[in-house]
Structure 1
Amino acid sequence: MITMSDLCRVSVRQVVRQRGFGVILSIALGITAFIALSVLGQEIRYKVGQDMVLMGGVNIIRVYMDDEQYPGQPQREFYPDTVEAIRNIPGVGMVSQNLRMNKIFSLRGTDERNLHVSFIGVDEYFFPTYSLELVAGRVLTAEDVQQRKRVCMLGREGAQNLYGDPRQAVGKLLVLGQDVFEVVGVVTGVMLGSWSEGGFLPYTTMSDRGWGGGNVRRLFVRAIGWEDVAPVVRQLPRVVREHQDAPYLVCATQDDQLERIQVTFMWVEALLWLGIVASLMLGGFGIWYGTFAAVRARTREVGLKKAMGGSDTDILAQFLAEALVKSVAGGVLGIVVGTLVVEIGALALHTSISYPLLLVSSLGSIVFSAIIGVAGGLYPAIQASRMDVVSALRFE
């Protein structure tokens, strides 16, 4: 009966002689991808999802009172406690209050053109809700809104139309109605759309002057991720009506774009896991083929060992151990590289690592690698253990 230490030593030596490094690397690649997706998969999915939804704006829910469509109905507005209750809904990232109607002013640009510029009333949360970027100056603040200051911001295209260079707009004075407003900033962003040609005022300042309908009748609710949109939409009417009368509340979403993103995510995720499975299967087939080749190349060796008293169990254990060494070596290499990838990925994504999950994934990878080795090497090992001694010794 061969000892365990001799079995391990002989198996490692045979694997090095056979140079089955391609099989080891194939398994290592699959294990690396498995660990990275297991530990960082949720964070990667969230980050990529955020980029995709921000590009399409599909995580923005427009909630508004549609009373004007029904004659005789009062023009209802959103109460402050209603807005606060919406912010506390699970899955809601941000809520921006704004006036539903815009106000158009005739302004003269530096090239003497008369431009009709549309302004909307917003709060300080509008800009992070739509992930807008500053071109110059600053954004509206809570102080601007609360103190009803006469300040405004312009979209990049609007500032360019008025002043040529958007950066030159900051500090300029605009006559809007009977008042003079200072331009404090210029913004741009992929979700700005036609608003890029207009401007933004504190909604309180507009409301005091009766512009934009006067009251907060529309909210922009930003869900944390695209998966949160549907649950938030289901809860919004109930939460609003618990705090005020809202018979004609409308929650508008971009359902078609949201569905396309969901389908895209499904296929991307399926292809990632298919790649992992394919890599591991390739490693398993490599072990199966390599063990068969080793059995054939060492047929006379098997016959000689049996003639010297080696049992079928010894022969089975030796070839199975060689298959296990290949697969476990691939698993260990995959764990090392996978851990390194997770550390680098966590730094790049600015997130923490769940080390218990990393440990569980690593242990699972070792077990799975061993299963691949057994599955790939068992049948060839059984074939070797069942060889006839005389036939094996005569094999050329």
Structure 2
Amino acid sequence: MLQTSDLLRVSFRQVIRQHKRYLGVLLSIALGTAGFIVILTMGEEVKSNLNKDLDLLGGATIIKAFFEQGSTSESQMARPEWFHDVTVDAVDQIPGVNGTTLLTLAAGQTTQDDREVNIPMFGVDENFWTVMGIKATQGELFGAEAQEKRHRVVVLGELAAEKIFGRTDVVGERVMINSALYHIVGTLDPGNQIDRAKWAYVPLNTLRARMFNLLPRRLYIRCNTWDDVPLVAAALPQVIKQHQNANTLTVEVAWEPLKHIKRIVWWVEMFVYFSIVATLGLGGFGIWNGMMTAVKSRTREIGLKKAMGAEDWDIMIQFLSESTCLSLTAGILGVGLGYAGVLAAAHILHSSPPLDQFYVYGAASIAFALFIGIGAGFYPSLSAARMDVVAAIRYE
């Protein structure tokens, strides 16, 4: 019986000799393995980046919480509730929450060329842009400094700029809104939400300093992924109640768009996984077919080895070793391609590749490739081991 090292050396040499026959099998298993590694390794990262594109998702990962005006005369006379800072901090700590933003709405009016123009004003904090997925088309979006120091700056939606000035290139100019002069620092891209282009956005603290009765009664919460939305929505009322009165609290979730998105993603995932399984299955069938051909073409060799004293077990182990080496070679090639795919995906997503997960899935892929090799090569190896010596030697 050959030693293990000699057996592996002979098996790998046989795979190299027959590389043209096994090329399709190698590529099939390698590509299937690479796809398996990339999808599982980068799956969460891809999902996280998809959730950042709120226009694509229709705001499905945004939860809106607000306090409604009471319906009874008693509740209407009571002081309206608003979100306290300690409440917002607590909401930020809920597992699955990616970010929160406070905002309030006020009526705005300006005069341009002797005509009055009504512009809705939104007082927003520095987190509003990232939570809502808004980008600037010109200039910049104000940040924490403008919020903290109550700067009189404004970001105009493109339709609002067109309505006031008759054009959109207004960055750097000044506009008088509600008798206060604001510096225009940027215009924004409304995406698919056209209403955003009709508004003027100023720092929340700036707006509240001029309108003392203006309270932040709206809180928008963005979740990490669509899977976190139901959990966060369920936990939100209880967390808010722990820090303030929440009798008139309303929580809105876009359940229908969320279900639609999850349904689409589920089908896409099923299609991808089915494709990978089919590719690996074809690779396993290729190994089986290739080993059956190898057994048939080496029938006389098998007969001669048996005549020289080789046991059935020796013959079986040799062919099984060849199929395992073939699948192992394909698995190693697939891990290499998978590593390149992970690096490429991380570069496209502007993130760091999760190498810890890659190592885990890479090892699992090697183990699975070995399983395919052993499973696909077992019957051909058994057929070779059971050959009759005389019939095998006489085979032409």
TM-score, reference length from structure 2: 0.89
CA separation of 1:161 and 1:359: change in aligned 2, threshold 3 A? same
Deviation at 1:182, TM superposition (A): 3.1
Q: Which residue of 1 aligns with 2:319?
A: 319
Q: Percent identity?
A: 36
Q: What residue in structure 2 maps to residue 29 of structure 1?
A: 31
Classify 1:123/1:352 alpha carbon distance in 2 versus 1 (closer, same or farther; 3 Å): closer
Report the CA distance between 1:342 and its aligned residue: 2.5
Is 1:233 paired with 2:238?
Answer: no
Matched with 1:77 is 82
Instruction: Kindly report the root-mean-square deviation, in angstroms, between the aligned alpha carbons of the 2 structures.
Output: 2.6
Q: 1:138 touches 1:186 (CA, 8 Å); kept in 2? A: yes
1:183 aligns with 2:184: yes
Question: Aligned partner of 1:166: which letter?
Answer: T
Judged with a 3 Å threshold, the aligned counterparts in structure 2 of structure 1 residues 317 and 81 are, in CA distance, closer, same or farther, namely closer
Checking the alignment, whether the CA contact within 8 Å between 2:54 and 2:133 is kept in structure 1 is: no
* Residue 139 (structure 2) aligns with: 137
What's the counterpart of residue 124 of structure 1?
126
Contact 2:174-2:184 at 8 Å conserved across structures: yes
Check conservation: 1:327, 1:372, Cα contact below 8 A.
Answer: yes
**Separation of aligned partners in 1, 2:331 and 2:36:** 11
| Distance in 1 separating the partners of 2:166 and 2:266 | 45
AA aligned to 1:379 is: Y
Equivalent position amino acid for 1:125 in 2: N
Match of 1:105 among 103, 109, 120: 109
- Aligned residue number for residue 52 of structure 2: 50
Question: 1:52 and 1:131, CA in 2 relative to 1: closer, same or farther beyond 3 A?
Answer: closer
Cα deviation, residue 352, structure 1: 3.4
Contact 2:53 2:133 in 1 (8 A): no
Is the contact made by 1:39 and 1:342 (CA closer than 8 Å) also made in structure 2?
A: yes
Q: Tell me how far 1:209 sits from its aligned partner.
A: 4.8
Q: How many angstroms does 1:327 deviate by? A: 0.7
Displacement of 1:291 in angstroms is 0.9
What is the aligned partner in structure 2 of residue 64 from structure 1? 66
Counterparts in 2 of 1:167-246, with a 5 A limit? 167=169, 169-190=170-191, 192-210=193-211, 214-246=214-246
What is the letter of the counterpart of residue 71 of structure 1? S
Moved more, 385-394 or 371-380: 385-394
Question: Do the aligned residues in 2 keep the contact of 1:52 with 1:261 (CA within 8 Å)?
Answer: no
Change (3 A) 1:143 1:308: closer
How far is the alpha carbon of 1:148 from its aligned partner?
Answer: 4.2
Runs of 5+ unmatched residues, structure 2 = none
Amino acid at match of 1:341: G
| Secondary structure in 1 matching 2:261 | helix
Cα offsets for 1:285-311 (capped at 9, x unmatched): 111111111112222222232233332
Structure 1: state its 5+ residue gaps: none
Instruction: Give 1:41 shift.
Output: 2.5
- Aligned-partner Cα distance in 2 for 1:245–1:154: 35
